[in-house]
Amino acid sequence: MTDFNYREVGATRGALPPGYYHLHASHVLGSGDEVFGRAVNRLMSWDMHRGAGLKVEARSARVIEGAEVVMHWLGQRIPCRVVYVVDEPDRRGFAYGTLAGHPECGEESFVIDRDAHTGVVTATVIAFSKPGRLSAKLLGPLGRALQKWMTSRYLDALKTG
C-alpha cells in the first residue's frame, strides 16, 4: 500500500492545516430525494470524476474507505486513497488524500448535503493542497486556477447527472 504524501490525513473534517492552499466551493443542485439520490450515486460511483473529464481506475466500483484510485488527465497520473466516507441520512460523501506520485500533496472532500427541513441539496468541495512534484511547482498560480476549474467541473458533473 502506497503512503500518503502529506501528514494531515483526515484534516478536511475540520480546520484546514496552515501552509497549504485552501479551497472551498459549493453549489445548490436542486431539492428533494431524487436530486439527492442521483447526486450521491454519481459521487459514490466515481461518475462525478468521469463527468469532469478524468479517466478513473478504481479498485472498487463504489467509493469505500481505504480504496485506492488512480485518475488520469492530460498525461498526468493522479493516485489517491479514500481517507473517510460520510454516510448519514442527509449527508453523504468522502475525502481522498494524495499518494506518492501525485502532482500535489493534500486532501479533498466531496460532500452532498440535503437540508432536512427544506430538502435543498448542496454539493461542497473542500481541499487543502500544495505542489508535490516539480511539474506542479512550475505551474505556480496556474496550478491553483486549474484546481478551481476542475472543482467547477466536479460540481457541474453533479448538476447534470
Residue 1 reports pLDDT greater than 70: no
**Is residue 3, in this structure, part of any structural domain at all?**
no
Contacts of 155 (CB under 8 A, 6+ apart): 25, 26, 27, 123, 125
Rounded-to-integer distance, Cα 66 and Cα 126, Å: 19
Supply the CATH number for residue 70's domain: 3.30.530.20
pLDDT confidence of residue 103: 82
**Is residue 131, in this structure, part of any structural domain at all?**
yes
Please say whether the dihedral angle defined by the alpha carbons of residues 123, 128, 133 and 138, taken in this order, is positive or negative: positive
**Is residue 74, in this structure, part of any structural domain at all?**
yes
Q: Confidence class of residue 13 from pLDDT cuts 50, 70 and 90?
A: very high
**Is residue 130, in this structure, part of any structural domain at all?**
yes
Q: Domain tally for the chain? A: 1
**Is residue 11, in this structure, part of any structural domain at all?**
no
Rounded-to-integer distance, Cα 135 and Cα 76, Å: 10
**Is residue 1, in this structure, part of any structural domain at all?**
no
Return the bridge partners of 58, or none.
Answer: 69
**Is residue 8, in this structure, part of any structural domain at all?**
no
pLDDT tens digits, 63-95: 999 999 999 987 788 899 999 999 999 999 999
Please give the model's pTM, rounded to 2 decimal places.
0.92
pLDDT confidence of residue 159: 84
pLDDT tens digits, 102-152: 888 999 999 999 999 999 999 999 999 987 666 666 667 766 777 787 889
**Is residue 127, in this structure, part of any structural domain at all?**
yes
74 vs 10 pLDDT, higher one: 10
The residue segments making up the domain with residue 30 are 18-160
